């Protein structure tokens, strides 16, 4: 069945209950089914470098199945049982795929963002009680191995560290040089260190243990991670399999080739894409360890599509923005669709991509706490640009608001908090810490996402804001509290409010407004330097600070952020209009009941030129009345 409308979703649901679909009970069963059907078809490809003729390693489904079995046996041999944790701090590689799959088969796999600092990685390792950690062997131009060693020194529960040596992907003379220039690791810890591929090759290609056919927690994913200790979400086999089944049922066939330059520590790449490949038998290509961040990936992107005959592009708005700065210099006629997630997609960016490539972008919505997928614009049906589409089968979405202290459901087009129930929501146990699950559910079943939105008369879901004030920089969650706490540590600062200001590339970047203590003096540059010294995560450092005589506040003295957001939108949009040589100006930013914050613009300008300028930002605009 193609995905055209809400009627299609209902028809699928009417076939039978989700639990009666006859789906595999475990990840290993799902992988075994696909490997049995398509043993010789390509499963996973990894390129260390981004060139269209650079060497690449491809695993067939039979090879991926055998190596995943060996990885699971390897972890069990190191004492990992069904409730023990295998963490990995890795960039993308085929070994990362094997660790993700094998770790979830043997125990509970815990992907960790390698961009975090050692203290944050160590905190996650302690929270999850990880027994085994897989990371990089020290390698030129990356400090992942050294940082992980420092984190393991802070996590005495870790008993074994398994190192992946990227030198295996190099050819002479580079492969000869790396051992000579490999950086030393000055950090010592008590865990025993192993070589990944050497240990893997010693394992059997049949499971050494019984793959018990029952649902259980199979993955821990941390949320955000830029601001102190992130929360850790629990994912069941059933939720992982649900995400894979959606890909197979609605999108992918075994003949599809998917390019995914997104990191495998994130649910988008790991659950939405990799698990959909495992379910469907399609082929996924991971270019470079750093994905879109890798050297030359944007410059070579279209040629890589031609090389691998890509049918589906997986991307995010920041990547689309960068791609639109490069010409389409290859044959991309194989591409059917591009999927975008993680952050709102500006209308102008959507238009430019479609014009340049002839390929439509499909926007979707998901979140770590729900294992991932919630909704998507139908690839074969009506796409409402700016919306996050229709709910997936077996997903229920409610929009709720608080009335007299009680949560009640909103009417059509009425804004409230988005609440979700589906097989990916582990109701009552979303987070590893029980106190984090308090007041997290509507009616005990629907996860309260913290996102504000509405459902229109055609059942399309729209996001209008965030109840929790998170700043989302290119899909990277930033808690504004970390910026505010840093600023409030300065003797001259009385109040601080951090928000996300619109950005054409990242969607939002952090900025802050401050009110000074009476009689105090400080410059913006001094405040920026002060923040820089206290905020360790680069993405969370404010890019703009403004000192106001007084910050807007609520009746109880809390900083009123909607006014700050309006101020930032007006400032950024007017600067963009001026840079474009347009006379139009934003005269006001209003709070529209359906669209959230909307910039109102003077009419004395060409509409097409105006759209080209303001359409690159995520927040909408309209003519002033």
The pLDDT tens digits for 533-558 are 999 888 889 999 999 999 998 655 57
1-30 average pLDDT score:
87
CATH code of the domain in which 324 resides? 3.40.50.12780
In the predicted structure, residue 187 carries a pLDDT above the cut 80:
no
Residue 307 lies in a domain: yes
pLDDT at 228: 47
Together in a domain, 377 and 504: no
pLDDT at 199: 98
In the predicted structure, residue 159 carries a pLDDT above the cut 90:
yes
In the predicted structure, residue 226 carries a pLDDT above the cut 50:
no
Q: Are 158 and 130 in contact (CB under 8 A)?
A: yes
Residue ending a domain, among 325, 358, 391, is 391
Together in a domain, 239 and 358: yes
Task: For residue 374, count other CB atoms closer than 10 A to its CB.
Answer: 27
Give the tens place of pLDDT for each residue, 91-102.
Answer: 999 999 999 999
Which residues constitute the domain of residue 132?
A: 6-391
Together in a domain, 387 and 493: no
Q: How confident is the model at residue 225 (pLDDT cuts 50, 70, 90)?
A: very low
Percent of the chain with pLDDT over 70: 97
Contacts of 496 (CB under 8 A, 6+ apart): 483, 484, 487, 488, 512, 513, 514, 515, 551, 559
Q: Are 400 and 417 in contact (CB under 8 A)?
A: yes
Q: Are 615 and 347 in contact (CB under 8 A)?
A: yes
Helix (H, G, I), strand (E, B) or coil at 510: strand
pLDDT at 538: 85
Together in a domain, 64 and 193: yes
Together in a domain, 498 and 385: no
Give the tens place of pLDDT for each residue, 423-444.
Answer: 999 999 999 999 999 999 999 9
Together in a domain, 128 and 242: yes
Cα 543 to Cα 483: distance, rounded to the nearest angstrom: 11
Q: How confident is the model at residue 474 (pLDDT cuts 50, 70, 90)?
A: confident
Bigger pLDDT: 593 or 487?
A: 487
Together in a domain, 309 and 213: yes
Q: Cite the DSSP H helix spans in 227-346.
A: 237-250, 267, 275-280, 297-308, 317-323
Q: Are 100 and 82 in contact (CB under 8 A)?
A: no
Give the tens place of pLDDT for each residue, 36-89.
Answer: 999 999 999 999 999 999 999 999 999 999 999 999 999 999 999 999 999 999
Together in a domain, 150 and 273: yes
Q: How confident is the model at residue 227 (pLDDT cuts 50, 70, 90)?
A: very low
In the predicted structure, residue 261 carries a pLDDT above the cut 70:
yes
| 519 φ, ψ (degrees, to nearest 5) | 85, -10
pLDDT at 468: 66
Supply 182's token pair: 């490999």
Cα 113 to Cα 94: distance, rounded to the nearest angstrom: 17
pLDDT at 596: 81
Cα 230 to Cα 97: distance, rounded to the nearest angstrom: 23
Together in a domain, 387 and 483: no
Q: What is the pTM of this model?
A: 0.83
CATH code of the domain in which 614 resides? 3.30.300.30
DSSP calls for 95-112 = HHHHHHHHHHHHSEEEE-
Residue-level length of the chain: 625
Residue 439 lies in a domain: no
Residue 424 lies in a domain: no
Give the tens place of pLDDT for each residue, 110-157.
Answer: 999 998 889 989 999 999 999 999 999 998 889 999 999 999 999 999
Name the nearest CA neighbour of 343 among 481, 232, 191, 502.
502
Cα 425 to Cα 372: distance, rounded to the nearest angstrom: 9
Q: Are 95 and 59 in contact (CB under 8 A)?
A: no
Cα 331 → chain centroid: 29
Residue 434 lies in a domain: no
pLDDT at 316: 85
585-597 average pLDDT score:
85
In the predicted structure, residue 595 carries a pLDDT above the cut 90:
no
Residue 410 lies in a domain: no
Percent of the chain with pLDDT over 90: 71
Residue 443 lies in a domain: no
Task: Give the H or E element holding residue 283.
Answer: strand 283-287
Cα 399 to Cα 45: distance, rounded to the nearest angstrom: 41
Residue ending a domain, among 340, 362, 391, is 391
| 268: DSSP letter | I
Together in a domain, 313 and 205: yes
**Average pLDDT over all residues of the chain:** 91
DSSP calls for 448-464 = EEEEEEEE-TTS-EEEE
Residue ending a domain, among 345, 367, 391, is 391
Upstream peptide bond of 354 is cis (omega within 30 degrees of 0)? no
In the predicted structure, residue 197 carries a pLDDT above the cut 70:
yes
Count of structural domains, the chain:
2
Give the tens place of pLDDT for each residue, 284-335.
Answer: 999 999 999 899 999 999 999 999 999 999 998 878 888 988 999 999 999 9
Q: Which residues of 259-286 are buried (b: 16+ CB within 10 A; e: fewer)?
A: bbbbbbbbbbbbbbbbbbbbbbbbbbbb
Q: How confident is the model at residue 2 (pLDDT cuts 50, 70, 90)?
A: low
Name the nearest CA neighbour of 474 among 321, 356, 578.
321
Together in a domain, 380 and 476: no
Residue 441 lies in a domain: no
Residue 179 lies in a domain: yes
Together in a domain, 235 and 94: yes
């Amino acid at each position: 069945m193609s995905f055209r409308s809400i009627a299609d979703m209902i028809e699928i649901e009417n076939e039978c209950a989700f639990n009666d679909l006859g789906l595999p009970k475990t990840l290993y069963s799902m992988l075994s089914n696909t490997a049995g059907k398509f043993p010789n078809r390509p499963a996973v490809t990894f390129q260390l470098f981004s060139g269209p003729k650079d060497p690449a390693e491809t695993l067939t489904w039979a090879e991926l199945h055998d190596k995943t079995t060996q990885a699971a046996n390897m972890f069990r041999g190191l004492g990992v049982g069904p409730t023990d944790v295998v963490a990995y701090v890795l960039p993308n590689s085929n070994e990362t795929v094997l660790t993700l799959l094998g770790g979830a088969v043997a125990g509970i796999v815990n992907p960790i963002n390698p961009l975090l600092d050692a203290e944050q990685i160590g905190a996650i390792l302690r929270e999850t009680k990880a027994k085994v950690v897989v990371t990089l062997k020290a390698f030129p131009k990356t400090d992942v191995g050294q940082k992980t060693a420092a984190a393991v020194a802070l996590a005495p529960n870790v008993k074994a560290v398994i190192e992946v040596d990227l030198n295996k992907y190099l050819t002479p003379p580079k492969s000869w040089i790396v051992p000579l220039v490999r950086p030393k690791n000055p950090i010592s810890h008590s865990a025993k260190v192993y070589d990944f591929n050497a240990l893997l090759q010693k394992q059997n290609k049949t499971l050494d243990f019984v793959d018990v056919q029952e649902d259980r927690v199979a993955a821990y994913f941390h949320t955000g991670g830029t601001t102190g200790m992130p929360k850790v979400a629990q994912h069941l086999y059933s939720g992982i399999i649900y995400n894979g089944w959606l890909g197979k049922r609605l999108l992918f066939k075994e003949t599809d080739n998917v390019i995914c330059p997104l990191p495998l520590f994130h649910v988008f790449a790991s659950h939405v894409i990799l698990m959909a490949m495992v379910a469907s038998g399609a082929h996924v290509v991971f270019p470079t360890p750093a994905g879109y961040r890798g050297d030359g990936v944007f410059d070579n992107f279209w040629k890589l599509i031609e090389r691998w005959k890509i049918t589906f592009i997986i991307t995010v708005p920041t990547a689309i923005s960068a791609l639109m700065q490069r010409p389409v210099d290859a044959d991309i006629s194989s591409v059917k669709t591009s999927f975008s997630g993680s952050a709102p997609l500006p209308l102008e960016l959507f238009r430019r991509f479609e014009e340049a490539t002839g390929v439509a972008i499909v926007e979707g919505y998901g979140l770590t706490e729900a294992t991932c997928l919630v909704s998507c614009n139908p690839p074969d049906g009506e796409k409402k640009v700016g919306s996050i589409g229709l709910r997936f089968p077996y997903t229920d979405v409610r929009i709720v608001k608080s009335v007299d202290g009680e949560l009640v459901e909103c009417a059509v087009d009425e804004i409230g908090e988005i609440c979700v129930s589906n097989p990916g929501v582990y109701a009552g146990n979303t987070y590893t810490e029980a106190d984090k699950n308090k007041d997290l559910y509507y009616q005990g079943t629907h996860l309260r996402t913290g996102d504000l939105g509405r459902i229109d008369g055609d059942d399309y879901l729209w996001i209008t804001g965030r109840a929790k004030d998170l700043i989302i920089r290119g899909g990277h969650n930033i808690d504004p509290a970390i910026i505010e706490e840093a600023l409030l540590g300065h003797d001259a600062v009385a109040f601080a409010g951090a928000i996300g200001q619109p950005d054409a590339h990242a969607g939002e970047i952090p900025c802050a407004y401050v009110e000074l203590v009476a009689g105090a003096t400080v410059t913006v540059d001094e405040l920026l330097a002060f923040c820089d010294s206290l905020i360790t995560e680069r993405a969370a450092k404010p890019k703009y600070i403004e000192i106001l005589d007084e910050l807007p506040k609520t009746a109880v003295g809390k900083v009123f952020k909607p006014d700050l957001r309006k101020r930032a939108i007006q400032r950024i949009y007017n600067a963009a209009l001026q840079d474009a040589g347009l006379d139009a100006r934003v005269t006001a930013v209003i709070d529209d009941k359906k669209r959230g914050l909307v910039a109102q613009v003077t009419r004395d300008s060409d509409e097409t030129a105006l759209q080209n300028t303001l359409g690159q930002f995520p927040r909408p605009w309209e003519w002033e009345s």
